[in-house]
Structure 1
């Protein structure tokens, strides 16, 4: 089914007219896991349907306890919601209630940031990246008395770069307390081997900080829409009261609880994705492409004005990648056969581009 043209939605494919999941080809534009990490997940979901006539727990208490135990934090610091982007929306609406309030984030960024800020009536302040990373000093310089929130995506979407721990800590200590810091760590599980901040370890020392995590990426539950936030008690209490009751379904909570209980199984799949990320990155660089260093489950090609042409040519061969304006192309790490297809296409695209240039 095709979709009418209109404003881009968060994480849209490069071409809205293309199906999100083509029957033939490779979907590499949505940063999904190539497979569900948990074996026999269907049995868990089927069991949870036995109570489908009952409302879910409005506070997802069993999942909340599991998250608190995992990170060794108090239960009252955990807020579970229908995806981390939905929680972000409530954070921004609460932090920036007045028209003209400012919210700072990087450019390019996850599409939802602009949508959430604009829907709150706030003013987006987009700070360009520097060397594919957050320009922390410029973000600090952008803080004004009207700044109400600052969003950091680490690892960054769409470039995949991660900030080192020391730089992040120094930056966080400089942000004024009147600014709510949102640390979006949707891709944190893919940072293994990288020196980068772990939000759950530091948020309790920062009264203005909210950490977002997702079950959509590493845990492979994108279709169930569930995520969570960690924040100091008072902030978490306010945020929890803003969420609609029963917004997390029984089936989503059951799947998330199973994923946390079987983290070794999840991380075996994460390790496979990380290995495939290395193969994709090495293959593209061997062909001569500039590839940003990634700590996420995707790679970034800073192609500039060639980005739309690259994505369109890939789509014609059944490979959906994400062109981010005329800044770059984001390629999700998929199955090995998807990597093979992408590398074949990239080599062909480079050869054809070289031929056109010489002609």
Structure 2
């Protein structure tokens, strides 16, 4: 597994002064105005347990996508739902789960937790290698996870290629479409999972309130799946797993979705500014449909992350493959661009010395 490096520290070991947190793909600000008032109101019933199955939130999600309530499963973050899904689908040591490398760290963790075998397929030009993924499917394959847009590269699979791929996957394999960053792919030609899962009963679509909705600290996500798979997942999740506060915030966010999407548009615009700024400096930047950018720096990745950290900017170095940079406020973009220019100049100086 490719590990994601933690925050780098100066050589003297002193604690850094953090100015810009660009390592966790968070929204730069809470996109929902008045959230504090909503949270305070929800605390009035803090002495009571939450709804064990988050029924009001389930109904709101079902209404958003015009699907039956019984096809929606709400849980404490999409990663927690994924964990239960893999534990169900791949419960034997000989069972295999396919996903890309590098990918979201949780994939390998949940596969190992289930006692199954991870099958990691390297990316091809920063994208899922769909042909090689199909070739990797065996009689032992129980699940295949596609992160679209992909984390950490931000690339997205085009609609035609995705549908063709999905139809080639055997029915005995559960396909997990992790669409945590889908809202940031606005205007791009990529699959919208909620519109496709009905035609392929082995698909489970994962969505999150942590990214575009800016509720990462409250831990709530959901799955869309066929009646049978959704029923299985719902029975595996512990009751009361989504807090009253989290459900109240998520319901409010759905009722004010246009406000959320306006904030998403601002992030997309800032992503464009960050991408263009880096490319003007000569950096190779993968095309992103998420709220982050990917610099395929190879062996220079840890050094870049360390240089940024010394200037109070935290980014994620993914082993010696690349650096993932979250899109932040405009001042964070400015600071990152200055840091990148300085790193390039210093690297050029060392190379010519």
Do residues 57 (structure 1) and 51 (structure 2) align? yes
Match of 2:151 in 1: 157
For 2:184 and 2:133, how far apart are their aligned partners in 1?
Answer: 25
Preserved CA contact (<8 Å) 1:199 1:211:
yes
Report how far residue 15 of structure 1 moved: 4.2
Give the one of 255, 259, 267 matched to 2:249. 255
Do residues 140 (structure 1) and 134 (structure 2) align? yes
The structure-2 alpha-carbon separation of the partners of 1:321 and 1:234, relative to structure 1 and needing over 3 Å to count, comes to same
Give the one of 38, 41, 47 matched to 1:47. 41
Give the one of 188, 193, 198 matched to 1:194. 188
Preserved CA contact (<8 Å) 1:117 1:123:
yes
Give the one of 253, 278, 281 matched to 2:272. 278
For 2:9 and 2:102, how far apart are their aligned partners in 1?
Answer: 19
Report how far residue 149 of structure 1 moved: 0.2
Match of 1:120 in 2: 114
Report how far residue 105 of structure 1 moved: 0.1
TM-score (norm 1): 0.95
For 2:295 and 2:17, how far apart are their aligned partners in 1?
Answer: 26
Do residues 207 (structure 1) and 195 (structure 2) align? no
Match of 1:32 in 2: 26
The structure-2 alpha-carbon separation of the partners of 1:313 and 1:260, relative to structure 1 and needing over 3 Å to count, comes to same
Which structure has the higher relative contact order (CA within 8 Å, separation 6+)?
2
Within-5 A mapping of 1:1-359: 13-15=6-8, 24-359=18-353
Preserved CA contact (<8 Å) 1:13 1:29:
no
Match of 1:4 in 2: none
| Structure 1: runs of 5+ lacking an equivalent | 1-6
Preserved CA contact (<8 Å) 2:327 2:333:
yes
Q: Secondary structure at the match of 2:97?
A: strand
| Structure 2: runs of 5+ lacking an equivalent | 11-15
- What CA deviation, in whole Å up to 9, does each residue of 1:199-243 have, x standing for no partner? 000101111110000000000000000000000001000000000
Report how far residue 24 of structure 1 moved: 3.7
- What CA deviation, in whole Å up to 9, does each residue of 1:78-137 have, x standing for no partner? 000000000000000000010121000000000000101011101100000011000000
Preserved CA contact (<8 Å) 2:5 2:318:
no
For 1:162 and 1:138, how far apart are their aligned partners in 2?
Answer: 17
For 2:22 and 2:153, how far apart are their aligned partners in 1?
Answer: 14
Q: Secondary structure at the match of 1:292?
A: coil
TM-score (norm 2): 0.97
Preserved CA contact (<8 Å) 2:23 2:326:
yes
- What CA deviation, in whole Å up to 9, does each residue of 1:252-279 have, x standing for no partner? 0000000000011101110000000000
For 2:41 and 2:246, how far apart are their aligned partners in 1?
Answer: 12
For 2:166 and 2:199, how far apart are their aligned partners in 1?
Answer: 10
For 1:232 and 1:250, how far apart are their aligned partners in 2?
Answer: 26
Preserved CA contact (<8 Å) 1:12 1:30:
no
Q: Secondary structure at the match of 1:59?
A: coil
Preserved CA contact (<8 Å) 1:13 1:30:
no
